Amino acid sequence: MSGGAAAVRKGLGHHAVHLLLLVAFGALLFYVTRAVPEVNGGLWMITAIGFLLLAGTLLSELLMPLGLPSLTGYLVAGVVAGPYVLNLVDVQTVKSMSPINTLALALIALAGGAELDLNALRKGVRSLAWATLIQSLPGLLLVSVSFVAVRPMLPLVLRELPWGAFLGVSLLWGALAITRSPSATLGVLAQTRAHGPLTTFTLGFVMSSDIVVVVLVAVILGVVKPLVDPAASFSLESLKTLGHDLFGSVALGTTLGLFIAAYLRIVNRQMLVVLLVLGFGVSTVLDYLQFDALLTFMVAGFIVRNLSNQGQKFLQHIESTGTVVYVVFFAIAGAGLDVPLIRVMWPVALIMAAARGLITYAGARVSGWLAKDSPMLKRWSWSGMISQAGLVLGLAAMVAREFPGIGPPFASLAIAAVAINQLVGPILFKVALDRAGETSRVEQPSFSSIRPPAMPG
């Protein structure tokens, strides 16, 4: 008993020190931003990155006894430090950190592809097929119906649309609602080191659903445009462009994966430099070619895992490089959340997020029954489908460009709903992994053990 009490006291003391550090550094930065409000430039961005790294890691450790994922700590730290709460990191600084997002998304997609084992996917193909079908079609339609149901609560410009146009907008909302968040999924898995049927299923579903969503949005945009804009005509040109982009992304990702596998086997040096080149250089090329970076890097990681014996080695390199990057990435995502907008839109956003969650849960139960899944998968397969992130925001921006008359309020509602899903989703997924017994028993590294990746030799 005395040993257990000593351990508890040591743990409380450990967390008290972290809390004091967090408050002290936050107070210091608060004073600096008020004393020198015009501070900016590269040095300030480095300071902001350092503070987000420190605050995100410390807060994640403070929340860990509650069973919350580390990702939640990173997001909350970003929200509090961001321009809409304490303003320790202003809007311009958040925008200037976009290169970190580019690198993080590349590492996340590479790791996601490298986690997908072809043999495991083959065993679960029936579950994935039924889940994709149910969540994509009935799920889309039911979410669209819920959007119609809240019409009286929507912004005026949406409420006053003719019924034909409003039904078209509802279908667009349904398409956006079925997007998922690979970054949030992999963030939770990186912390928990989870392995098992639920982990494999969630990875396969989340990674493949983005492709399905992109295709569905292109089709729906072609159908909806004449309804919302009477001057427009139905066109399949967008599908032709989409097919070219998807084929190009898969082809380039395959080539990139074969190159990485050959490099790991023959050279296996300077991998930090290689990953930086992939994250920054290749991402720039993909942006110029208008290929899907997430799909390209995911395919590359999949090729390394399944067409070579370098997959485990590749994952270790990504983990050693990405530890620090992931913390800053999710903290930046939290800082970028528009808190005033959420405050205005929260009633309808909360209703839409809840409706989406219930429909996702029901769809997962139905698909699990049809696929004859195990009881554990039937119960928890929905948990990894709640989080949303970058893809839906990109699609919402595309809708705003296509329909400037209704785009701003539509995109604003999407941002508010995504914020709720991004905060709640990782918590639900980690709870499910814990209940399914798939999380690692190995203690995660504490703040003091996190160091920058070793320089390549």
- Which of 37-41, 246-250, 282-286 is predicted least confidently? 37-41
Contact criterion met (CB below 8 Å) for 315 and 115: yes
Residue ending a domain, choose from 74, 96, 118 = 96
Residue 351 binned pLDDT confidence (cut-offs 50, 70, 90)? very high
Q: Whose structure tokens read 């160091």?
A: 451
Checking if the pLDDT of 2 tops 60, the result is no
What percent of the chain is modeled with pLDDT above 70?
A: 86
* 84 and 138 fall within a common domain: no
Mean pLDDT score, 120-136: 89
CA angle 123, 124, 125 (to 5 degrees): 100
Give the model confidence (pLDDT) of 308-320 as tens digits: 888 888 888 887 7
Residue that is written with structure tokens 């040993």 in the block: 3
pLDDT at 312: 85
Are residues 68 and 197 part of one domain?
A: no
Q: Which of 60, 55, 87, 86 is nearest to 71 (CA)?
A: 60
Specify if 454 maps to a domain: no
Torsion, Cα of 276, 279, 283, 284 (10° steps): -40
Predicted confidence at residue 24, as pLDDT, reads 85
In a domain, 72, yes or no: yes
Q: What is the pTM of this model?
A: 0.76
Same domain, 78 and 129: no
In this structure, the answer to whether residues 60 and 126 fall within a common structural domain is no
pLDDT tens by residue, 213-233: 777 777 787 777 777 776 666
Number of domains making up the chain: 2
Do 80 and 143 lie in one domain? The reply is no
Q: Strand, coil or helix: what is 250?
A: helix
Q: How confident is the model at residue 410 (pLDDT cuts 50, 70, 90)?
A: confident
Query: Positive or negative, the Cα torsion across 138, 418, 225, 214?
Result: negative
456 domain-assigned:
no
Query: Is 200 found in the same domain as 113?
Result: yes
Say yes or no to pLDDT of 266 above 60: yes
pLDDT at res. 263: 92
**Segment 43-64, tens digit of pLDDT:** 677 788 888 888 888 888 888 7
User: How many C-beta neighbours within 10 Å does residue 122 have?
Assistant: 9
Residues belonging to the chain: 457
Give the lowest-confidence range in 76-80, 89-93, 193-197, 340-344.
Answer: 340-344
How far is Cα 21 from Cα 61, in angstroms, rounded to an integer?
Answer: 12
The CA-CA-CA angle for residues 325, 327, 332, to 5°, reads: 95
Q: Which of 32, 78, 59, 73 is nearest to 339 (CA)?
A: 78
CA dist list (Å): 146 to 94, 139, 154, 353? 34, 11, 12, 10
pLDDT tens digits for range 149-200: 999 988 888 888 888 889 988 998 998 888 888 778 877 887 788 888 999 8
| Confidence at 356, pLDDT banded by 50, 70, 90 | very high
- Among 275-279, 319-323, 352-356, 432-436, the range scoring the smallest mean pLDDT is 319-323
- For residue range 363-376, list pLDDT tens digits in order: 999 999 999 999 99
Last residue of a domain, one of 67, 96, 125: 96
Summarize the confidence of residues 2-17 as an average pLDDT.
60
Q: Are residues 138 and 51 in the same domain?
A: no
How high is the pLDDT of residue 42? 58
Q: Are residues 162 and 86 in the same domain?
A: no
pLDDT of 27 higher than 70: yes
- Calculate mean pLDDT across residues 380-401: 78
**C-alpha distances in Å from residue 321, one per residue of 112, 293, 453:** 15, 19, 5
Residue 457 falls within a domain, yes or no?
no
At 341-350, the pLDDT tens digits run: 778 788 898 9
Q: Is residue 103 part of a domain?
A: no
On whether both 33 and 157 belong to a single domain, the answer is: no
Residue 169 maps to a domain: yes
Task: For 84-142, give the DSSP string.
Answer: TTT-SS-HHHHHHTHHHHHHHHHHHHHHHHHH--HHHHHHTHHHHHHHHHHHHTHHHHH
- The better pLDDT of the pair 401, 55 is held by 55
pLDDT at 66 over 50: yes
Residues 179, 41 within the same domain: no
249 pLDDT more than 80: yes
Does 159 share its domain with 50? no
Q: What is the pLDDT of residue 455?
A: 36
pLDDT score, position 60: 83
The angle formed by the CA atoms of residues 201, 204 and 207, to the nearest 5 degrees, is 140
The whole-number pLDDT of residue 236 equals 60
Q: Domain for residue 374, yes or no?
A: yes
Q: State the pLDDT at residue 198.
A: 92
C-alpha–C-alpha distance, residues 377 and 369, integer Å? 10
**Residue 431 has what pLDDT?**
92
What pLDDT band is residue 428 in, cutting at 50, 70 and 90? very high
For residue 303, pLDDT over 90 is answered with: yes
Do 45 and 129 belong to one domain?
no
Specify if 398 maps to a domain: yes
Whether the predicted pLDDT of 112 surpasses 80: no
Q: What percent of the chain has pLDDT over 90?
A: 21
Whether residue 10 is predicted with pLDDT greater than 90 in this model: the reply is: no
pLDDT band at 452 (very low <50, low <70, confident <90, very high): very low
Domain membership of residue 74 as a residue range: 2-96
Q: What CATH code is carried by the domain that includes residue 440?
A: 1.20.1530.20
For residue 281, give the DSSP letter.
I
Tally of CA atoms within 13 A in the half-sphere of 222 that contains its CB:
14
322: Cβ contacts below 8 Å, ≥ 6 apart:
104, 107, 108, 111, 190
Last residue of a domain, one of 41, 69, 96: 96
**pLDDT in the model for residue 231:** 65
Note the pLDDT of residue 40. 59
* Cα 447 to Cα 443: distance, rounded to the nearest angstrom: 12
pLDDT recorded at residue 445: 41
